[in-house]
Amino acid sequence: MKRILVTGFDPFTLDQDIRISNPSGAVALALDGTVIETADGPARIETAMFPVRWRDFTEGTVERALRPHLPEVDLFTTVSQGRVGRFDVERTNGAWRGGFEDNENIGRTETVPVSDPASQPQWTTTTLPYTAIVASQTGRFPVYDNTSVTEIPAGGTVAVPRPLGPTPGSTARAGGGGDYLSNEIAYRATLLRDRLGLRGGLPGGHVHTPVLRFGAGNTTDVTDPEFVRNRLDIIAQTRAIVTVAVSATERTRG
């Protein structure tokens, strides 16, 4: 049986609205222990939930959780909430924290701290089969191959957007997934993949889901029919994306 690892996040910005949910957490809760069918046989999904706290990431929570399992799985994807109305498969992750406050109301603006900074790259890249994912009909939300980043070019001092990805020698200021913990978990997971020598054989990267929204006019209730529909559709489409990804990987290997 194939093995797939998926991660999600707790809700965040609850001080702004206590009703806020996180669709990536819903995905992790719903898909844990489920089995999908692929052309090459069944694949079991196991998931993990991560806190939205800078200090946990600084202390190596991601690496401790994933290191024992990455050599054993056939595919992994970290998942978080992204933009309204769309999925993004993030092509590039950056080694930068942009300062947005976490669930302890603490911000961090710095290079992503890792245990061996001397060999730390500014960028890591996905090995998910993004072409196959984007080309497939996985659900009602469009899915994009997001190649954009923000960088300080080599020899420069000012951060600039790069729609087609980083240029040689540049310094990261935001990956495709931004400069918050969604970018950081993708950076750490793919860096760990590379440092374990798995880059050539392990598909892995980050998927951003649509924002989980309430129905029009709902400013007080914790749920409504539109909210439930959005949550279920995001979960189902993430499952379909994972199915496409592992199936495409099987075809490539075959």
| Average pLDDT of the residues in 205-222 | 96
232: pLDDT strictly greater than 60? yes
pLDDT in tens, 87-105: 999 999 999 999 999 999 9
236: pLDDT strictly greater than 90? yes
| Average pLDDT of the residues in 16-26 | 96
Closest CA to 10 of 2, 152, 20: 20
**Domain ranges (residues) in the chain:** 2-253
d(CA 206, CA 133): 12
Looking at residue 178, its pLDDT comes to 97
252: pLDDT strictly greater than 80? no
| Average pLDDT of the residues in 176-204 | 97
CA 112 to chain CA mean position, Å:
16
End-to-end C-alpha distance for the chain, whole angstroms: 16
For residue 117, give Cα distances in angstroms to 120, 121, 242, 243: 5, 8, 32, 35
Q: Percentage of the chain surpassing pLDDT 90? A: 96
| Average pLDDT of the residues in 139-167 | 98
If pLDDT is split at 50, 70 and 90, which confidence band does 250 have? low
Could you say which architecture CATH assigns to the domain 2-253?
Answer: 3-Layer(aba) Sandwich (3.40)
| Average pLDDT of the residues in 19-25 | 96
| Average pLDDT of the residues in 58-78 | 98
Looking at residue 253, its pLDDT comes to 47
d(CA 22, CA 215): 16
d(CA 254, CA 250): 6
Amino acid present at 58: T
If pLDDT is split at 50, 70 and 90, which confidence band does 40 have? confident
pTM assigned to the model: 0.96
Looking at residue 39, its pLDDT comes to 81
54: pLDDT strictly greater than 50? yes
Query: Any bridge partners for residue 146, and if so which?
Result: 90
What is the number of other CB atoms lying within 10 angstroms of the CB of residue 235?
A: 20
Q: Mean pLDDT of all residues in the chain? A: 96
42: pLDDT strictly greater than 60? yes
34: pLDDT strictly greater than 70? yes
Looking at residue 202, its pLDDT comes to 97
